[in-house]
Amino acid sequence: MMHKHCFEAVQTSLQAIMGAVDPSNSNKPFGGKPVVFGGNFRQILPVIPKGSRQDIVNATINSSDIWRNCTVLRLTKNMRLQSISDADERDVLTTFAEWIASIGHGTIRGSNDSCAAIDILEDIQLKTLDDPIATIVESIYPMFKNATDDPSYLKDRAILAPTLEVVGSINH
Q: What is the pLDDT of residues 139-154, one digit of tens each?
A: 888 877 776 677 777 7
Q: What is the pLDDT of residues 25-78, one digit of tens each?
A: 999 999 999 999 888 777 788 889 999 999 999 999 999 999 999 998 887 777
Pair 100, 142 in one domain: no
Kindly tell me if the per-residue pLDDT of 87 is higher than 70.
Answer: yes
Tens of pLDDT, residue by residue over 42-51, are 778 888 999 9
Same domain, 33 and 64: yes
Q: Which amino acid is at 17?
A: I
* 91/58 same-domain check: no
Q: What range defines the domain where residue 114 resides?
A: 76-120
Asked if residue 24 has pLDDT above 90, the reply is: yes
Do 111 and 132 reside in the same domain of the chain? no
How many structural domains is the chain composed of? Answer: 3
CB 159 within 8 A of CB 137: yes
Please spell the DSSP secondary structure of 91-149, one letter per residue. Answer: HHHHHHHHHHHHHHHT-SSS-SSS----PPPGGGPPP-SS-HHHHHHHHH-TTTTT-TT
pLDDT at 148: 65
